Amino acid sequence: QSAEKRLFKRRKVAEIEQALSSEPIDVAALRRMAISEGGLLTDEIRCRVWPKLLSVDTDDLPPPPGKDLREDNKDYQQVLLDVRRSLRRFPPGMPDDQREGLQEELIDIILHVLQRNPQLHYYQGYHDIVVTFLLVVGDRLATALVEKLSTHHLRDFMDPTMDNTKHILNYLMPIIDQVNPEVHDFMQSAEVGTIFALSWLITWFGHVLSDFRHVVRLYDFFLACHPLMPIYFAAVIVLHREQEVLDCECDMASVHHLLSQIPQDLPYETLISRAGDLFVQFPPSELAREAAQQQAERTAASTFKDFELASVQQRPDTVLRQRFRERLRGEERTKSVLTKPRTNRFVKLAVMGLTVALGAAALAVVKSALEWAPKFELQIFP
């Protein structure tokens, strides 16, 4: 088995290298690699691929922070407090002086992004995302990646109010309802709400997972996908724990306590694949009505249609598009089943099985990620 794993890794590294060396860079293939089993494999590869997924020019990185960055900065005290509390986000056994140096860099990255983008508002938990980038790619590149991410995927969390964040959380229950009405109804009866998933969503699970390898594997996935993918992943965690939920006392305190304690031994690759499949089967546009559609126009995620229309400028891999079209024809035959509000659960699971068999990678990449970023990827696909 270890020999098989080594062979798999060698093949995947070769595919990534081929995508990086093609002209123009094959971002479609890089997204596929980031989503598929194992993700991007190593931090060295992430340093090269993450900028491509966010369309950041590594030859034009922001200058080092100036000395006046912390002076008269309204967020400095809160950022300082949060960063000082972030000890467990650094590798165990790291020397104190090295960790303290990284914490200083972390403060500077956050303040730099906020200073350059006054429309963004700091929130507690933001530092959990920034520290992941700092530890993987270093301070200069992390600054550029976090700035792009903050003005796109994370923008809704950085509004003056939490209205858009709450709106995104509102997608959680409709996804669960589509797959498992029993779990949905149990949670509704318990009146547990969705606050248990807030820290998952706004930190991209960085705050709640103790193993850094799992965190960066999820970041590979989320960076390659539509900005709502973290809420789909939250849903598959709840669905994975179906029996635990249903065995729980049906009251808010008990269910909230259970769900807020996230297991550390989750089958991440299985859940990533399932989240991709659910996104394809139940895209945000189909769930929007149930997710308080009156706010939909104001979220970054809802601009998906604009990106979709511009996607032709990206010239994604034609083989992927062809494969998707063929599979879409198969999905169209089940469309009437999927759009009924309370479809028989076993029929839904049978349809899910079909999608799982086809694989989340090709479907999720082509249907979502390729359309997400064209407004800032035009320099790659002129």
Query: 302: left (phi > 0), else alpha (psi -120 to 50), else beta?
Result: alpha
The pLDDT tens digits of the residues spanning 273-285 come to 999 999 999 999 8
pLDDT digits (tens, 9 = 90+) for 178-231: 999 999 999 999 999 999 999 999 999 999 998 999 999 999 999 999 999 999
The pLDDT score that the predictor gives to residue 147 is: 96
Whether pLDDT at 373 is above 70: no
Tokens of 307: 């990106």
Residue 295 has pLDDT above 60, yes or no: no
- Per-residue exposure over 144-181, b if at least 16 CB sit within 10 Å of its own CB, e if not: bbbbbbbbbbbbbbbbeeeebbebbbbbbbbbbbbbbb
Rounded to whole angstroms, the Cα distance separating 158 from 75 reads 13
Say how many C-beta atoms besides its own lie within 10 A of residue 292's C-beta. 14
Q: Give the CA radius of gyration of the chain.
A: 21
Average pLDDT over the chain reads 81
Confidence category of residue 63, pLDDT binned at 50, 70, 90: confident
According to the model, what pLDDT value does residue 79 have? 96
* Mean pLDDT value across residues 128-156: 96
**pLDDT reading at 375 higher than 70:** no
pLDDT value for 41: 95
Cα–Cα distance for residue pair 322/59, rounded to 1 Å? 34
- Is a pLDDT exceeding 80 seen at residue 10? yes
